[in-house]
Amino acid sequence: MWAVWGKQNRWFEYVGFLGCQILFVGGFVAVKSLRLGSLLGCAGFVLMLFYLGPAVVNTIHALLLGKLTLDAPHFVELGLIIAIPLITLVRLVLNVKEYTRLR
């Protein structure tokens, strides 16, 4: 994240960065324990939203005010930035529910 947006300067950006690390570790833990990896993934995802959420809200706000204009490929990119994390969260929650139901 530092390479793309620069060093964090607010507390929620550090929380978001920690969430990315937890997501990364959760992916490796899921190989051994799907439930624990999914729980770590959910926790990391929620923490990551402290970084992603304000960025998306500020971008949409700038679009609505007319301060920012995006062409078609950039709208697709913005849509993917919003959609992929939401799909990931749904998948993580379904993993936890499925594992709990099997037990």
Domain ranges of the chain: 2-102
Yes or no: say if 20 and 48 are a contact pair by the CB < 8 Å rule. yes
pLDDT, residue 34, reads 84
Please say whether the dihedral angle defined by the alpha carbons of residues 31, 33, 34 and 36, taken in this order, is positive or negative: negative
From CA 79, how far away is CA 23, in angstroms rounded?
21
Look over the chain and give the mean of its residue pLDDT values, rounded to a whole number.
Answer: 83
How big is the CA angle at 12 (ends 28 and 59), to the nearest 5 degrees? Answer: 100
pTM here is 0.67
pLDDT, residue 101, reads 72
What proportion of the chain, given as a percentage, has pLDDT over 70? 88
- Tell me if residue 34 falls in helix, strand or coil: helix
What is the torsion angle, in degrees rounded to the nearest 10, for the CA atoms of residue 87, residue 40, residue 17 and residue 27? -70
- Across 29-49, average pLDDT: 88
pLDDT, residue 29, reads 93
Q: For 49-82, what is each residue's pLDDT tens digit?
A: 887 888 888 888 888 998 888 888 888 988 888 8
Q: pLDDT-based confidence at 6, cuts 50/70/90?
A: low
pLDDT, residue 25, reads 94
